[in-house]
Amino acid sequence: MAAKNKTKYIFVTGGVVSSLGKGIAAASIGLLLKSRGYSVQFQKLDPYLNVDPGTMNPFQHGEVYITADGTETDLDLGHYERFTGIETNRNSNYTAGKIYMKVISEERKGASLGDTIQVVPHITNEIKRSILSVGSDDVDFAIIEIGGTVGDIESLPFLEAIRQFSLEQGPSRSIFIHLTLVPFIAAAGELKTKPTQHSVAKLREIGIQPHILVCRTEQELDADLRGKLSLFCSIPKDAVIQCADAKSIYAVPSALAGEGVDRLVLRHFNLDITKRRMTRWEEMLRHIDEADVEVSIAVVGKYIELQDAYKSIYESLSHAAIHHGIKLKIIRVSSEDHQVVKGLGRRVAGVLVPGGFGSRGVEGKILAAKLAREKDIPYFGICMGMQVAAIEYARNVCGLKGANSLELDEETPHPVINLMESQKNVTQKGGTMRLGNYPCHLKDGSRVKALYNRRDILERHRHRFEFNNEYREAFEEKGMDLTGTCPDNDLVEVVELKDHSWYIGCQFHPEFKSSPIAPHPLFSGFLEAAKAYTLKRKNV
């Protein structure tokens, strides 16, 4: 299974514990290589048996990241895109479920020619084919992150596959980078290398010898510790890399650059070590320390207890905060706690209601939209956040008693949010939504058009229910401006209130197109309005 392209493959594995930041490390390495003029693409291989994360509970898995081509993927793809500006795609995320489904489906069609289907070679061959799918003559490096940790039973087929891949492609086509934890034991007052030694030993049992060891640590790795890890893990001393805790994830690329990770990768492949160009990134990092105004933003959602459930939302807010010199304070509010929602007017300078599914916590989101509208607090509604703004406006301004979404109340007398005709008879839950990039036409003279500074935009979607066009006239008569529509089907994409400090709801997910060096226009406008609201309140 030889690669018919020039792509080099970088495999990123993790050991000891999960949540060490393999995705951040992979994204950082991608940024460093791109800054030296090389082209990069990414892939995340996840060991779980779901076909994709689209039907998984955000409390368990975090947010579902949507690619431009409409694929529901792991949240680490968000890190890849935010750090590098490279768009991922349907080949950028494979799960064990997706791999097994393909193999079993082919067997049911008779494609196996009577073979006994086994993990080796059939599953591992399919994994290798998925890896090759991100390579091409236009991609210098494919960075492949293996989910989970070494030693997990679920990860074994993937680790076996990349071992085979390296053997088949030869040492000039692949490199292994292992991310591990070097914990600081306070009682002993020292860092401990044994967990890392065991992790690397487990990897070597499988047949993989790491070329670079990236050590997550709270303390400095001195020369003796690096030497010890080098000796016992059979890794050159200069390839034992320190990755200390950083105050911002966006400082990690600079930290790894200081350790020479990209040089090691290029040297391994005998490629030119060109000059690194990261001027915009470094300028962004300097702005982080220049924040002079604290601005409090309430994020009112139903999955608020888990940081990763709204990962891209929080990151997009931070991007805009960096751009506007804001010291951002995010107040996470459960939409089920109505008393807290009611008291937000005294505490925050902006209210953001993110997307979600199902009826739990929706009335609290509607209450948040009402509070922001009546008290002239900047409001930003995303996906369901736009829908609850419409429901609130229908009930309390348009006089449509009992207005609701058909998703939440099938008996509502005023379904201001309903299904598209093409979706009304669909019963399958997975893969039936409007997903990925769709065009949107912005109305002349609108706030949203001024923010984008263009008339036509492309934004990513993930939803099944839409604004009901039968109520457009009723909303516009009462002052809600429908300022964005999809030219393909005339569906409402953006609503806003003119006589308000800043009140915008969008059906799409702008958080998937924001980066620290290019904040999304809507998040930028929202934070700018919240900053103005904060300064105005201080001066009253």
Residues with a catalytic annotation lie at: 383, 509, 511
Q: What pLDDT score was predicted for residue 423? A: 52
Q: What pLDDT score was predicted for residue 425? A: 46
Rounded to whole angstroms, how far apart are CA atoms 298 and 311?
Answer: 15
Secondary structure of 2-44 in HEC code, one letter for each residue: CCCCCCEEEEEEECCCCCCCHHHHHHHHHHHHHHCCCCEEEEE
Rounded to whole angstroms, how far apart are CA atoms 78 and 309?
Answer: 13
CB 385 within 8 A of CB 353: yes
Residues 6+ positions from 19 with CB-CB distance below 8 Å: none
Residues 6+ positions from 536 with CB-CB distance below 8 Å: none
Running DSSP on this structure, what letter comes out for residue 123? Answer: I
CB 180 within 8 A of CB 48: no
Q: What's the token pair of residue 238?
A: 């200069």
Q: How many C-beta atoms surround the C-beta of residue 151 within 10 A?
A: 16
Helix (H) or strand (E) holding 146: strand 141-146
Q: Which CATH superfamily is domain 292-539 in?
A: Class I glutamine amidotransferase (GATase) domain (3.40.50.880)
Q: What pLDDT score was predicted for residue 428? A: 45
Sheet with 174-181, side-by-side order of all strands = 93-95, 40-46, 141-146, 8-14, 174-181, 212-217, 240-244
Q: What pLDDT score was predicted for residue 426? A: 45
Q: Is 129 exposed, middle or buried (0-12, 13-18, 19+ CB in 10 A)?
A: middle
Amino acid at 380: F
Q: What pLDDT score was predicted for residue 180? A: 96
pLDDT mean by block of 10 residues, the chain; 540 residues: 84 88 96 98 96 85 94 96 97 97 93 88 97 96 96 94 96 95 87 94 96 94 95 96 92 96 97 95 92 95 91 98 96 95 94 93 96 97 98 97 95 93 48 87 97 97 95 96 94 96 98 98 98 87
Three-state DSSP state, 488: coil
- pTM, 2 dp: 0.94
Q: How many C-beta atoms surround the C-beta of residue 190 within 10 A?
A: 12
| Domain extents in the chain | 8-182+247-282, 292-539
Indicate the CATH number for domain 8-182+247-282: 3.40.50.300
Helices (H), 345-383: 362-374
Rounded to whole angstroms, how far apart are CA atoms 225 and 180?
Answer: 14
Residues 6+ positions from 96 with CB-CB distance below 8 Å: 46, 47, 48, 49, 154, 157, 158
Work out whether strand 212-217 and strand 240-244 pair parallel, antiparallel, or are unpaired: parallel
Q: What pLDDT score was predicted for residue 421? A: 57
Rounded to whole angstroms, how far apart are CA atoms 31 and 253?
Answer: 7
In tens, the pLDDT along 11-43 reads: 999 988 877 899 999 999 999 999 999 999 999
